[in-house]
Structure 1
Amino acid sequence: MAHKHNGKVAPHVHHHDAGDAHSEGSHCESDIQPIVYPENIQRRLNALKHIHMDIQKHEHHMHVQIFQQEADTYKKMLPLLKKRAEIISGVHEPTAEEGQFKLKDDAPAPETTPADGQKGIANFWQTVLMNSGHTVDLVEQHDHEVLEYLVDVRTVYTEKPLGFKLEFEFRENPWFSNKVLTRGYEFEDEISREDLYLITGLQPKTTQGTVIEWKDGKNLTKKEKITYQRNKKTGERRQMKTEEEQDTFFSFFTPAVTDLRALMKSLSAADDSVDTEVRMATAQKIQDAEMEYELASVLRTRVIPRALLIFTEEDDEDVYSDDEFGNEDDEDEDEDDDEDGAGDAGEDEDEESDDEPPAKKGGHGPGGMKKGVAGTPPGKGAAGKPRKN
């Protein structure tokens, strides 16, 4: 099933690692017609259901243990991840010994260019997000400059309640005042009998984000649209400014719904008396929530641990060849810029704004999604170019 984030399909997020749940309840129970069996078959099926519930209890316990083991392993890696962050940010300069690496003793040293004097590795995490097939199509052109200030991405695990939180740390920047943006999930402490019957992993109960403290005029979730009205009688023009929603990677930090269990139950409880549009809207919210959870999970279990290989384009899942898929021309335009504003009782005639700058465009991902080119790190070649999916 294709999942959307900000109206876009997110690639390669169908991973259920370390006890993560495959979400259930995405359709309304009233749509499912029960199968009628002969009495003797039903009796045997009931017996099997008792066995199934016992199996489910063991499986759920296993998923909890796997997640706890993942958390314990991550704690052991914290000193290494801290040192990695210090090298990337320029706090720690590797020694001569640390700066030498070969997979094979007879491997030739990699080609380099003269030292450029910079500290750390510029645009490391921006490049990781642009190179990863899991995140590239969620990053818009207007997100690139902000992501240059991203200095670290890490995971924080909690035991009570069981869950995790992603932390994106930024240097001081012109867009927002927050130093750290977060998105976290808590799992169910107690599983109901109904949920245990169907569950295939840990169920996220709630999710929390960050209220981004946008600086004046810098909110990337909004964009200003300018149109002009011309008075049919006088020919006079006047400027009209409106604000509308804009796709951005930073919407990830502000979940539309925080109580995920209540959201699931609202659709399961819906019947034919509930308006179809309401049910469809709820189903879309569930689909968006599922995508965001899977994205958070893959960031936690793959992107963060394997950030180096994604940056250097050595990761087996995250490297995509432009030659393999061919190059595509830019076609997407912001069609909304051509829409007319509201007239005044037939007296004013709407016009397009001649003063608007052309919309920035990126390349294309699946389904015509826009994506741009991240800044290429010095001496890095094509690390920042968009990947094809």
Structure 2
Amino acid sequence: MAILTAGRPAIMQTVAARTGCPGDKNIQMADNSFSDGVPSDSTEAAKNTSNAEKLTDQVMQNPQVLAALQERLDSVSHTPSSYIETLPKAVKRRINALKQLQVKCAHIEAKFYEEVHDLERKYAALYQPLFDKRREFITGDVEPTDAESEWHSDDEEEEKLAGDMKSKLVTDEKEEAAAEEPTPRGIPEFWFTIFRNVDMLSELVREYDEPILKHLQDIKVKFSDPGQPMSFVLEFHFEPNDYFTNSVLTKTYKMKSEPDKADPFSFEGPEIVDCDGCTIDWKKGKNVTVKTVRKKQKHRGRGTVRTITKQVPSESFFNFFSPLKASGDGESLDEDSEFTLASDFEIGHFFRERIVPRAVLYFTGEAIEDDDNFEEGEEGEEEVRAAAGHGVARVALSWPEGGSPRAVGR
């Protein structure tokens, strides 16, 4: 084979150096016969050449050497791009034409996702009456009827048997005590319990956030109006509390569904590209997003020391409503900022697609068990990515077959 024989001494020396096989010395001898210069006697030179070839042939019969050489040849990069470079100009021209068609496909796909967004908006209006009733049950404004409260679980027979046994053991005194026990209103701490159950959210919550989140009554998703740029708003509804005067805190996520001009082939569906928060009207001394620190200052001239107080940012879930802005002036964000922004996008997407539609299942933990059943690499996997080369962290959304949008990495 030509690829094995060309430059054989040099190749064999490299292979021998890597493998440490018994033929190393012979290979080195063969190589030296070529590196010491041209012998003065032509006959001697021919003899040396013949000996070198014999030694090389002997080494080539060594299985270790052949395996190492084959491994080295196999490791030579044969990328698609290197193959394309070898094609005739006429073929390259046709490939360029295919790329033009692919760009047009990407633009059609973008229109498809815009129509899917319109459809999602339509069905959001159908879901909302059910979500409104959910809020009434949670807050206790409305008590569900017996028919609305009926639910047949898989363990219904076991529960019935346990209930029968319990009823036989309960005394009249205990029944009277239970009758006197106050019944809580609605479902206490419903949304706060979801925050505690979901790792992605619990990591954001600090101890001083918890009393505030216990006042959270509802989370809603609202989509942009028809004809407006794609976006959605998360609304966090709070009952009156001692921390801020807002009844609703909002977070707006801006989206786009169009191929990037610089990289149209990277298009995989709508992307969250930016977000806006809202101003929280904190009551005096109740702002958990800042903390007061004391710092000593020494006067340069007099040498006197004074103590000053200043406010510095504090970690809190409520920083969620003061998000980092995506760079819109062409400047790139640093790596930490890109990660922070991408994480923010993922959380917003998770509220929209998982938490709000399936709140009761995250409250009971059933949805969390379903999420844990997914393994890495399956279609249900969610990833965050930073858009390379654009200086903007983004979350791309795609619609898996038979499902709703999900975040995907690219």
- Residue type at the aligned position of 2:289: T
Partner of 1:295: 347
Q: 1:173 is matched with which residue: 241, 245, 254?
A: 241
Q: Does the CA-based 8 Å contact 1:310-1:319 persist in structure 2? A: no
Partner of 2:309: 241
The CA deviation at 1:256 is 2.4
Q: Does the CA-based 8 Å contact 1:133-1:318 persist in structure 2? A: no
Q: Distance in 2 between matches of 1:189 and 1:44?
A: 28
Q: 1:137 is matched with which residue: 187, 198, 203?
A: 203
Partner of 1:90: 140
- Residue type at the aligned position of 1:188: K
Q: Distance in 1 between matches of 2:191 and 2:203?
A: 15
Q: Does the CA-based 8 Å contact 1:210-1:253 persist in structure 2? A: yes
Compute the RMSD of aligned alpha carbons. 3.1
Partner SS state of residue 135, structure 1: helix
Q: Distance in 2 between matches of 1:101 and 1:169?
A: 28
The CA deviation at 1:298 is 0.9
The CA deviation at 1:216 is 1.3
Q: Distance in 2 between matches of 1:262 and 1:48?
A: 32
- TM-score when scaled to structure 1? 0.61
- Residue type at the aligned position of 2:269: G
The CA deviation at 1:251 is 0.8
The CA deviation at 1:93 is 0.8
Partner SS state of residue 134, structure 1: helix
After superposition, residues 305-320 of structure 1 pair within 5 angstroms as: 305-317=357-369
Partner SS state of residue 262, structure 1: coil
Partner of 1:101: 151
Q: Is residue 2:104 matched to residue 1:74?
A: no
Q: Distance in 2 between matches of 1:133 and 1:66?
A: 30
After superposition, residues 99-248 of structure 1 pair within 5 angstroms as: 99-104=149-154, 106=157, 108=159, 114=178, 116-158=182-224, 159=226, 160-188=228-256, 193-194=261-262, 196-226=264-294, 239-248=307-316
Q: Does the CA-based 8 Å contact 1:182-1:209 persist in structure 2? A: yes
**Shift in CA distance, 193/91, structure 1 to aligned 2, threshold 3 Å:** same
Deviations 1:327-380 (A, max 9, x none): xxxxxxxxxxxxxxxxxxxxxxxxxxxxxxxxxxxxxxxxxxxxxxxxxxxxxx
Partner SS state of residue 315, structure 1: helix
The CA deviation at 1:286 is 2.9
Deviations 1:63-113 (A, max 9, x none): 223333222222111111000000001100112222221135646259799
The CA deviation at 1:223 is 0.7
Q: Does the CA-based 8 Å contact 1:175-1:218 persist in structure 2? A: yes
**Shift in CA distance, 128/283, structure 1 to aligned 2, threshold 3 Å:** same
Q: Does the CA-based 8 Å contact 1:205-1:261 persist in structure 2? A: no
Over alpha carbons, which structure has the higher Rg?
2
- TM-score when scaled to structure 2? 0.58
Q: Distance in 2 between matches of 1:282 and 1:51?
A: 35
Partner of 1:360: none
Q: Distance in 2 between matches of 1:174 and 1:107?
A: 45
Q: Distance in 2 between matches of 1:224 and 1:65?
A: 50
Partner of 2:14: none
Q: Does the CA-based 8 Å contact 1:131-1:318 persist in structure 2? A: no
Q: Distance in 1 between matches of 2:195 and 2:261?
A: 40
- Residue type at the aligned position of 2:143: E
The CA deviation at 1:44 is 4.1
Q: Distance in 1 between matches of 2:92 and 2:240?
A: 65
Richer in helix (by share): 2
The CA deviation at 1:197 is 3.8
**Shift in CA distance, 184/170, structure 1 to aligned 2, threshold 3 Å:** same
The CA deviation at 1:240 is 4.1
Q: Distance in 1 between matches of 2:371 and 2:214?
A: 21
Unaligned runs of 5+ in 2: 1-80, 167-174, 373-410
Q: 1:266 is matched with which residue: 331, 353, 359?
A: 331
Q: How many residues align?
A: 267
The CA deviation at 1:124 is 0.6
Q: Does the CA-based 8 Å contact 2:107-2:259 persist in structure 1? A: no
Q: Distance in 2 between matches of 1:205 and 1:313?
A: 31
Q: Distance in 1 between matches of 2:242 and 2:215?
A: 10
